[in-house]
Chains A and B, each alone.
Chain A
Amino acid sequence: MDDKKRFEDCPFLKEKKVVYCKAYPLKKMLPLDRLFEDENLCFNKSYRTCPIYQKHAPETMTEMSICYFLGTENMLYCDLSPVKKYVPVYSLKLLNPCSSNAYRDCRYYKEFKEADTDTEKVQGFIMEREAYYCSNHLWIKRSFDGIKIGIDDFGQFIMGPIKEVLLPEKGRWNHPKNVFVTLKTDDGVVILDFPVKGYINNVNDAVSSNGTLINLDPYGDGWLVEMVPYSGFKSIENNESIFYGEKAKAWLEQEAFKLRHFIESEIGVTVADGGEIWRGLRDALGIKGNLLIKMFFS
């Protein structure tokens, strides 16, 4: 890691000028831009009426436009932390995650990052918050007049580069059929049943001619079809094998552990403690992709 990166500040670390009263026994910091200067006696001639001033001022004191005891200092604070605590610039620069790349591990930073975006990572795999997840790694999102279906990040990872995609044809209302998508990879063919029956009103032609779109952007350009489910969106919400929110997270975590244990046992019975699942894994390891596919898609 180069040093520049290592000492990159947290984007939420903010600097502010604060003022304080040097005569007051407690050094209480007030951010400058939060004080109304005319209303505060420290900032104008009425400082002379301040009891603290009167107590501490030397007798021969020339008149000033602001109070002699008014001190200012540059302070740093975390924009995310619920309690705004101001600390002098020098102290925070010394030992804090805020001024090194360790901020990425900071609780506040992480919570914000997760709450801020529509996606989050579970054991290294991306999930979209608004999506529903089927146990065969299809995702479902609401669309304009029905639902959109695609393959989740974990699913595309397990399949590896997708070579060919056979999408169902645009259907008709009166022919309810079990619909599915067929995907060809170097490690075998995967057939994924759609969780609900309905009218296919749109298919992603870009994906049928270029399957790697699914690998590159599983929740975006890699979508598969749009359809109108026969029994409405309720049929998805009420389906017990379709997960959403916390349940979806717990489910994906289980899948990731399954993967981890599978690969660990491929290598020998050891247990390791550490980071996230490494994405370069498939290529580097020559991992038996066909076994992976079997494990997660049958």
Chain B
Amino acid sequence: MIIYIALTAELEKRLWVKEIEESLVRDFGFPIRKLDLPISPESFYDKNRRQYHSTSILKEILNNTPENTLKMVGIVPFDLFIPILTFVFGEAQLNGKVAVVSTARLEQGYYGLPQNHLLLHRRLIKEIKHELGHTFGLLHCKDRACVMALANNIIDVDKKSLNFCTACLNLLHSMIDKIKKNSAK
């Protein structure tokens, strides 16, 4: 059982994928692999919103999961939305298989600031962990420093840490244990 990080070709070139993988292994305890995410953005573009529809992309990712997928997070460079929100950093199936994270609003450039690759990665790792957390059944955490805290804007993202709080971590580990036990049977 594998946790896949699926990236578009453009992002694969720009991101430090190894570092991202390493930062995830410790918390999730399953092998992490990267994968190509061959999606054509045009089909998810909404002309009115001038953004890309997150939930449709999520479905597309679900259609592309290999046999041995435990979880799969798609990482895309386009600005995502769902109809009820002005934008989303990411979306996940609660207690499900797939999640999606957008790098668009994690980039300093989006706010008119000079690129900061390190900061981009910190933010991205937080968001990947957060969405993966949802796929393991975790809900939003009231602890503002916990990586499972809800972020409404980039300041919120920067405010939270890279880590799960103790409560969330315990929950996550019990979920992981359950999965491991079930698959051993």
Interface residues of A (CB under 8 A from B): 6-7, 94-97, 99-102, 105, 107, 124, 259-260, 263-264, 267-278, 280-281, 284-285
Asked if A271 meets B92 with Cβ closer than 8 Å, knowing A100-B113, A101-B112, A276-B152, the reply is yes
B103 interface contact, C-beta 8 A: no
Q: Within 8 Å CB of B111, what residues of A?
A: 6, 97, 100-102, 105
* Residue in A99, A107, A275 with the greatest tally of chain B CB atoms within 10 Å: A275
For A96, what are the chain B residues with a Cβ–Cβ distance below 8 Å? 113
- Please measure, in the bound complex, the distance between the C-alpha atom of A269 and the C-alpha atom of B82, giving whole angstroms: 13
A264 to B92, CA, bound (A): 12
The verdict on A268 contacting B83 (CB below 8 Å), with A101-B111, A102-B111, A273-B89 known, is: no
Interface residues of B (CB under 8 A from A): 48, 54-55, 58, 80-94, 96, 111-114, 127, 130-131, 134, 139-140, 150-155
Chain B neighbourhood of A102, CB < 8 A: 111-113, 154
A274 and B112 form a contact (CB under 8 A):
no
Given contacts A97-B113, A107-B155, contact A272 B83 (CB under 8 A): no
Residues from chain B with Cβ under 8 Å of A278 in the complex: 81, 83-86
Contact of A275 among B83, B85, B91, B134 (CB under 8 A): B85
A271-B154 contact, Cβ under 8 Å, with A94-B114, A102-B113 = no
Inter-chain CA distance A267–B58, complex, in Å, is: 13
| Cα A281 to Cα B49 with chains together (Å) | 11
Task: Pick from B83, B92, B134, B150 the residue with the most CB of A within 10 Å.
Answer: B83
**A273 with B150: in contact, given A100-B113, A102-B113 (CB under 8 Å)?**
yes
Contact B84 A277 (CB under 8 A): yes
User: Can you list 24 A-B contacts (CB < 8 A)?
Assistant: A96-B113, A97-B113, A101-B112, A102-B111, A102-B154, A105-B111, A105-B155, A107-B155, A270-B93, A270-B96, A271-B91, A271-B92, A271-B139, A272-B85, A272-B90, A274-B82, A274-B87, A275-B86, A275-B152, A275-B153, A276-B85, A277-B85, A281-B83, A285-B83
Interchain CB contact under 8 A, B127 and A95: no
- Considering only CB atoms, which chain A residue lies closest to B91 in the complex? A272
User: Which chain B residues lie closer than 8 Å to A285 at the CB level?
Assistant: 83-84
> 13 additional contacts, CB 8 Å, given A270-B92, A273-B150, A276-B86?
A96-B113, A102-B154, A105-B111, A105-B153, A268-B55, A270-B55, A272-B92, A273-B91, A273-B130, A275-B86, A275-B153, A278-B86, A280-B48
Q: How far is the CA of A252 from the CA of B9 in the complex (A)?
A: 43
Chain B contacts for A269, CB-based, 8 A:
93-94, 96
A191 to B80, CA, bound (A): 38
- Going nearest first, the 9 A-B pairs with the smallest beta carbon separation are A100-B112, A274-B88, A275-B86, A102-B111, A6-B112, A272-B91, A275-B87, A272-B88, A263-B84
Kindly state the separation between the CA atoms of A263 and B155 in the bound complex, as whole angstroms.
26
What is the CA–CA distance of A204 and B153 in the complex, to the nearest angstrom? Answer: 39
A129–B138 Cα distance when bound, in Å, is: 35
Residues A267 and B155 in contact, CB atoms below 8 Å apart:
no
Query: When chains A and B are docked, how far (Å) is the Cα of A97 from the Cα of B154?
Result: 12
A263 to B150, CA, bound (A): 17
Instruction: Compute how far the CA of A234 lies from the CA of B88 in the bound complex, rounded to whole angstroms.
Output: 44
Query: Please, which residues of chain B bring their CB within 8 A of the CB of A271?
Result: 91-92, 94, 134, 139-140
Contact B94 A274 (CB under 8 A): no
Q: Give CA–CA (A285, B93) in the complex, Å.
A: 20
Expressed in whole angstroms, the Cα–Cα distance for A260 and B86 within the complex equals 12
